[in-house]
Amino acid sequence: MIEENVQNEYFELLKFESVGGDPSKFRECVECASYLRRWLGKLGFEGEMLYPENGAATGAASMPPPVLFAERKGDEGAPTILFYGHYDVQPADPVSEWQTPPFEPTVRDGRVFCRGSQDDKGQFFAFLCGMRDYLASATVKPTIKVVLEGQEESGSAALSAMAPSMRRKLAADVLLVCDTGAAADLRPAIIAGLRGVSHFTVRLRGVNRDLHSGEYGGIAPNAAQAMAELVSSLHLRDGSIAVSGFRDGILPPEYDELRAAELSAPSKEALEADMGCEPVGGQLGKSIVQRNSFEPTIEVNGIHSGYGGPGAKTVIPCEAIAKISMRLVPGQTPRAAFEAVRNHLEANVPRGMKMSIEDYNPGAGGFRLPLASPLFRLAEHVLSEMDGRGPVFIWDGASIPVVSALREASGAAPLIVGWGQSEDRIHSPNESYSFAQFEKARDWARRILSALAG
Amino acid sequence: MIEENVQNEYFELLKFESVGGDPSKFRECVECASYLRRWLGKLGFEGEMLYPENGAATGAASMPPPVLFAERKGDEGAPTILFYGHYDVQPADPVSEWQTPPFEPTVRDGRVFCRGSQDDKGQFFAFLCGMRDYLASATVKPTIKVVLEGQEESGSAALSAMAPSMRRKLAADVLLVCDTGAAADLRPAIIAGLRGVSHFTVRLRGVNRDLHSGEYGGIAPNAAQAMAELVSSLHLRDGSIAVSGFRDGILPPEYDELRAAELSAPSKEALEADMGCEPVGGQLGKSIVQRNSFEPTIEVNGIHSGYGGPGAKTVIPCEAIAKISMRLVPGQTPRAAFEAVRNHLEANVPRGMKMSIEDYNPGAGGFRLPLASPLFRLAEHVLSEMDGRGPVFIWDGASIPVVSALREASGAAPLIVGWGQSEDRIHSPNESYSFAQFEKARDWARRILSALAG
């Protein structure tokens, strides 16, 4: 359990239905950001609500939720720390599967059940509570900048678009993020790398309408078959990527990185139990850690063409779409990787088809952080004091594109440590966060801020 | 225009909403069949309603519409003629696109607008009216058997299932069908061949749920990509079929057939104008007529897997389906062709996937009728009297599976002549049939029955 006033504040924060991707929840998002601005104001932060100058340029059909930027000036000569979190949450659907209402924080067995109780309201608010504890007793105080956005679950378009023009405002020494998981059994984990991500849609158009497969079979080109051919051309039979130029410039991991990554990697058996099938994705002959952390991917997120209902409808489909995303590793740039894929696709458009590429989102490149950096040594020391097992390092196959954008704009060294566990069920019904996790995140904030302030 | 009493009967027939594929229209179908039974009864036909002994065995979830079988005994020694038609119609959707209500026959510019005005109520009823004219004056009368089913638009399951056990009942010398099109400008056309058709669904299952493409990318097998690979394995790059054994036994067309087919085939330019793209389907190096009439196909009628909505959802799909149909040519049997495809698919299941094949419908094989047969000479003579241009022969790429079943069960030689035109817009809103077409079909019936009775 935590102090009653902290729990009240936490629960008040959770009750805002700040589903950032839902335009009908815009007001809830603004109210949530305002609440946080007031909360930080009491600690001496100057806060402001930021909106992109041209909302439409960010791809949003409506005004995006505001980015809260708050700064507390510290002592002369003390470092500047940038903290990132997001107050938006995933939709609560399917609501019927929640045991208690999704926006009514409910405590059961030491866990708080509520949408956002962990991701990311719980994690970032626990951190901010630790920061408040720290500020109450610190002698030398760093400058602290807090960025809390309302669009992380729907792509971070506004903040990503604004970041490059906020260099001065964001400039910092360290970028702290509390939006990731710890290792099994709450063992601390430091994110040592993230892959980048880009995505786009491919559309093929053949004939002018779905045609009768008897009357036109053998003469009309088939868009479903064409898409199958085009998509399958992206990989070779051994699972490697067949796109010329896609891998150009890739920086392979160092021996120390590979060794450390192996230590934190799940076993083949654990993956099989989790996924329900053998981990046979990616290129034959490369290890699980290689394929999941250090290799790029080109993934088909969906293919749709023609009939898909019950029974049969014997048509030759006129159109097909494929949703494609890429995970990128250091040395690849989103633009060059995309150009390579686009060139490949254009060179392989099947007979009779017109191809278009739509909804291209360059996203962000991947990064790996230097294992031997003083920042990591410091974090390792702090986390070893919190937990005798010490931290593991994780090269996460996933992406937090906005972290790349903030890192570039701020010039800060990222330190990404979070306290999630798989049982928290983020993005799913009955999301929860335990008080034990909350206290870990809070303690981490106190300790790392203290250590960074020197 | 036609006689008022004939038009009244025709319109009464059209008003039944006999959508055979819609269980909620079962009663309308029975009433429609009853109406036809009474109509034929006045001409001396003994009619009976047939239902499959086990409705469930035909794949129907509910009782299928009845097959009307009616027989009129003719003179001793006269031939037996079997006539096939279907009283069921396509659904009227989208109803809003009809200029007049879909089941209210409306005359505009010499055309009757109504669902089924052509397909097949108009065509078969015009034929039956011609038969009535003929019977009123004939001296030697053939035995006539009429089979009118209520499931043609939804697969003819009941009649196909019953036909093999109705050999004695169906036995005939000639099988007449009036459910196809004439050539351009109402030039008569004799169907000299039809392809067969079979279809099934392929399902691939990989991981146990859609997975995050970052967290699992490179280790989880992707069902959408796997389906793309599996589907594209069915063809070689030149468009030929890659399935070993699939083409075994194919009987290529004779020189005379190819030459006659070329005469009735649409030009490359006409096809391009119709389809909106070049006719580049099928195997490179084979002619349009070859590919459309005499070659089999394996066609993907649809592929569905993963995300297909706006924007992106970066998942690794756990499941994919493909709807696949085959058009078969003489020499292929549905079972052997399917076994070849199944063996190919089983041998090519991508890593990490479990495949299942569902909803297999063997359909029917294709056939070609002997061009030099006395029946065709007779029909050619009759049609040349009706139209100085004489008939064309068409090897239709499409299939009427039930005709294959009736042909086998009856032992009769098929003579398939219809009077449809593309402007009739069958299966679409505002279907219509002109009085001129009606009279052609009626005249054809009078003349061919007279010629067959000798």
Interface confidence, given as ipTM, is 0.89
Measure the CA–CA gap between B210 and B204, rounded to whole angstroms: 13
A232 vs B contacts (CB less than 8 Å): 225, 228-229, 231-232
Dmax over CA atoms of chain A, in Å, equals: 83
Token pair 């007049």 in the structure block, residue = B100
Residue A410: is its pLDDT beyond 50?
Answer: yes
Whether A307 has its CB under 8 Å from any CB of chain B: the answer is yes
- Judging contacts by C-beta atoms under 8 Å, the chain A residues touching residue B327 are 213-214, 217-218
Find tokens 């026959």 and name the residue: B105
Out of B229, B291, B397, closest to residue A214 by CB: B397
Q: Which residues, at least 6 apart from B262, have a Cβ–Cβ distance to it below 8 Å?
A: B287, B289
Asked whether the predicted pLDDT for residue A1 surpasses 80, the reply is: no
**Out of A312, A397, A399, closest to residue B301 by CB:** A312
The residue with tokens 């060794």 is A259
Mean pLDDT check: name the lowest of A424-433, B9-18, B65-74: A424-433
Of B227, B316, B397, nearest to A299 by CB-CB distance is: B316
Give me the phi and psi of B147, to 5 degrees please: -115, 115
**CA–CA separation, B347 vs B341, rounded Å?**
10
A221 and B CB contact within 8 Å: yes
Contact assignment for A281 to B218 by CB distance below 8 Å: yes
Which amino acid, residue B245? G
Q: Report the candidate in B158, B163, B170 with the shortest Cα–Cα distance to residue B29.
A: B158
Site from B303, B328, B354, B404 to mutate, A interface, most A CB atoms within 10 angstroms: B303
- Compute the distance between CA of residue B362 and CA of residue B381 in angstroms, rounded to an integer: 37
- Answer whether B306 sits within 8 Å of A307, measured CB to CB: no
pLDDT value at residue B60: 52
Of A374, A285, A292, A298, residue with least CA distance to A340: A298
For residue B185, give how far its alpha carbon lies from the nearest alpha carbon of chain A (Å). Answer: 19
CA nearest to A226 within chain B? B232
pLDDT band at residue A57 using 50, 70 and 90 as cut-offs: very low
| Token digits of residue B204 | 């691939």
Report the Cα A110 to chain-centroid distance in Å.
Answer: 27
C-alpha B417, offset from chain centre: 14
Stretch A114-139: mean pLDDT: 97
- pLDDT of B14: 98
Q: What is the pLDDT of residue B56?
A: 43
Q: B327, A361: Cβ pair inside 8 Å?
A: no
Q: Is the pLDDT of residue B49 over 90?
A: yes
| Predicted confidence (pLDDT) per residue in B301-314, tens digit | 999 999 998 878 88
How crowded is residue A356: how many other Cβ atoms within 10 Å of its Cβ? 10
**What whole-number distance in Å separates Cα of residue A368 and Cα of residue A413?**
11
Please list every residue in chain B whose beta carbon sits closer than 8 Å to the beta carbon of residue A366: none
The distance of A37 to chain B (nearest Cα, Å) reads: 31
pLDDT of residue A265: 86
Mean pLDDT in residue range B165-174? 97
Cis peptide before A75 (omega within 30 of 0): no
Closest in A217, A278, A310 to B327, CB measured: A217
**How far is Cα A156 from Cα A301, in angstroms, rounded to an integer?**
20
Chosen for mutation from A198, A213, A247 (greatest number of chain B CBs closer than 10 Å) is A213
- pLDDT tens digits, one per residue of A263-293: 888 899 999 999 999 999 999 999 999 999 9
For residue B93, the model assigns a pLDDT of 84
* A359: chain B residues, CB-CB within 8 Å: 310-312
Q: Is B235 on the interface with A (CB under 8 A)?
A: yes
| Residue of A219, A239, A351 with shortest CB distance to B288 | A219
**How close is the nearest chain B Cα to the Cα of A174, in Å?**
25
User: Is the predicted pLDDT of residue A58 greater than 80, yes or no?
Assistant: no
Q: Do B303 and A219 touch (CB under 8 A)?
A: no
A291 interfaces chain B, CB cutoff of 8 Å: yes
**Interface with B, mutate which of A204, A216, A299 (most B CBs under 10 A):** A299
DSSP annotation of A25 reads G
Residue of B nearest to A401 (CA): B214
**What does the block give as tokens for A193?**
């790398």
27-56 in B: which are within 8 Å (CB) of A? none
Tell me if A265 sits within 8 A of A397, measured CB to CB: no
Q: What is the mean pLDDT of chain B?
A: 94
What residues of chain A, 197 to 216, have a C-beta less than 8 Å from chain B?
Answer: 197, 199, 201, 206-209, 211-216
pLDDT in tens, A194-220: 999 999 999 999 999 999 999 999 999
Tokens describing residue B249: 């036994």
DSSP H helical ranges for B120-240: 121-137, 157-162, 167-170, 223-232
For A203, the token pair is 């559309």
What is the model's pLDDT at position B57?
Answer: 47
CA distance B327 to chain A (A): 7
User: Any CB–CB contact under 8 A between A317 and chain B?
Assistant: yes
- What is the per-residue pLDDT across A6-15, written as a single tens digit (0 to 9) for each? 999 999 999 9
For chain A, say whether B221 makes contact (Cβ under 8 Å): yes
Percent of chain B with pLDDT over 90: 86
C-beta neighbour count of B372 within 10 angstroms = 8
Position B54 scores a pLDDT of: 64
Contacts B156 to A, Cβ<8 Å: none
* The pLDDT of residue B128 is above 70: yes
Chain A residue closest to B277 (CA)?
A207
Q: Which H or E element spans position A302?
A: strand A297-306
Q: Do B219 and A281 touch (CB under 8 A)?
A: yes
Cα(B380)–Cα(A57) distance, rounded to whole angstroms? 69
Best CA proximity match to B344, nearest among B203, B245, B248? B245
- Do B291 and A218 make contact, defined as CB atoms within 8 angstroms? yes
- What band does A93 get if pLDDT is binned at 50, 70 and 90? confident
In whole angstroms, what separates CA A234 from the centre of its chain? 25
Contact residues, chain B, for A207 at CB < 8 Å: 275-277
List residues bridging with B87 in a β-sheet. none
Residues 423-452 of B with CB under 8 A from A: none
For residue B148, the 8-state DSSP code is E
Whole-structure pTM value: 0.89
The C-alpha of B330 sits at a distance from chain A's nearest C-alpha, in angstroms, of: 15
**Gap between the Cα atoms of B46 and B246, Å rounded:** 45
For B221, the closest of A199, A213, A281 (CB atoms) is A281
Q: How far is A48 from chain B (nearest CA, A)?
A: 30
What is the arithmetic mean of pLDDT over A105-118? 97
All residues of chain B having their beta carbon less than 8 Å from the beta carbon of residue A277 are 206-208, 220-221, 352
Chain mean position to CA A213: 44
Of A228, A361, A397, nearest to B300 by CB-CB distance is: A228
A 64-123 residues with CB < 8 A to B: none
**What distance in Å separates residue B96's CA from the closest CA in chain A?**
20
Strand A413-416, strand A174-177: pairing: parallel
**Model confidence band, residue B78 (pLDDT cutoffs 50, 70, 90):** very high
